[in-house]
Homo-oligomer: A and B are copies of this chain.
Amino acid sequence: MSGNSIGEIFRITTFGESHGEMVGVVVDGCPAGLKIDLAFIQDELNRRRPGQSKITTQRDEKDKVQIVSGVFEGKSTGAPIAAMIHNQDQRSKDYAHIEGAFRPSHADFTYEKKYGHRDHRGGGRSSARETAARVIAGAIAKLLLKEFGIEIYAYVTKVGTIEMPADCKIDLKKIESTIVRCPDLKTAKKMIALIEEVQGRGDTVGGVVSASILGCPAGLGGPVFDKLHADLGKGMLSINAVKGFDIGSGFKGVELHGSEHNDLFEKKNGKIQTKTNHSGGIQGGISNGMDIEFNVAFKPVATIMQKQKSVNKKGKVVEVEGKGRHDPCVVPRAVPIVEAMAAIILADHLLRHRSSRLKMKE
């Protein structure tokens, strides 16, 4: 209830602050018998890792994952899986200057208002460092989903005003081939140039991460409040810097007529499917077997290397300026985080679905 857990059956709880000893996660509800591939989990963390390219923060965090429970002889036992990353290369002194000041569009002011007492070092609990714990949990979720043929891909489709062409066919294999993680290589080049330009000015820029979930069987998702896309939306909106989520035709679809927007059913290769996919793979909150497609809007990073006016706790005017090492654009590193949250939500609904019918078969 305090907001540090998500999921009903596959349920994760994260802990740890940016400049504390570690960030960690407890994954409760992972079924017994799943092979836990530690190298895969580490690879996923490496995709999120700071310092991975010239367009991300230059902080050099190794982010080595350690699993301390719930796994025996390489397989999950059904007990909670606790995993952690010890923090390194913290420069808490980078934050000494802002101890009393409220950085614009950060959570300093709101944490102060909520809790009265806060760990100001590096944003403490509100830091995006917390998402490293989500990536660990997401990697475990991906291993579970893989057993059922479900795969999740996220990629960058927009940075500032530079957008992938609408008619561009997405080649999922190319996502990791550029540092910006846009599968259209032409657009990727422009995005990288823009980020570098913005970074040069000490400024930042926003972007959009899109995702495709392949192989999801029909039937996942709750009927009313826990619609699959509602839970995916919550998962995405809970990621730092996210300001929007839409699925299928999304905000663009509002301009269409029902006669254009409706996805007509057909039987193809012995399987009932839809000719179009404006629904984005979910109808009435439940997956229909088509690819699940959604978009996530990230605002420009709030920490900029420019002087800004603000106030401190006492309401006095102060000047703040980003120190330390920050991302000029969050979307390249957000790709594995979006995938992780999608995997966590889906793993949960996969298990929840097992109670839908009197007798289940999988």
Contact = CB atoms under 8 A, between A and B. Distances in A.
Contacts of A233: 230, 233-234, 237, 245
B80 A2 contact: yes
Contacts of A247: 237, 243-244
A354 B358 contact: no
A265 B109 contact: yes
Interface string A281-312: 01111111100000101111111101011110
A97 interface: no
The 10 closest A-B pairs by CB, nearest first: A107-B284, A3-B222, A244-B246, A206-B254, A3-B226, A204-B258, A110-B286, A32-B115, A234-B234, A230-B237
A59 interface: no
Interface string A108-131: 011101111111000011100010
A360 B357 contact: no
Contact of A356 (B32, B104, B288): B32
Given A68-B20, A246-B297, A288-B110, A15 B125 contact: no
A357 B29 CA distance: 10
Interface string A158-189: 10110000000000000000000000000000
Nearest to A107: B284
Given A9-B355, A72-B117, A111-B223, 19 more contacts: A2-B223, A13-B26, A15-B81, A17-B70, A26-B26, A32-B357, A33-B357, A77-B119, A78-B357, A102-B265, A105-B261, A114-B356, A147-B358, A229-B237, A230-B233, A231-B234, A233-B237, A256-B299, A351-B354
A5 interface: yes
19 contacts: A1-B28, A2-B223, A3-B224, A3-B226, A4-B26, A15-B28, A15-B82, A16-B69, A34-B358, A72-B118, A78-B357, A109-B218, A109-B272, A114-B286, A126-B284, A229-B237, A243-B254, A258-B303, A265-B310
A89 interface: no
A356 B263 contact: no
A124 B79 CA distance: 9
A33 B357 CA distance: 6
Contact of A15 (B2, B70, B227, B316): B70
B2 A257 contact: no
Nearest to A133: B224
B124 A77 contact: yes
A24 interface: yes
Contacts of A31: 355-358
Nearest to A160: B255
Contact of A130 (B224, B266, B358): B224
B300 A256 contact: yes
Interface string A230-254: 1101110110100111111111011
B219 A2 contact: no
Best-buried of A261, A266, A308 by chain B (most CB within 10 Å): A261
A255 B5 contact: no
Nearest to A86: B68
Contacts of A222: 2-4
A29, A244, A270, A288 interface centre (most CB from chain B within 10 Å): A244
A264 B310 contact: yes
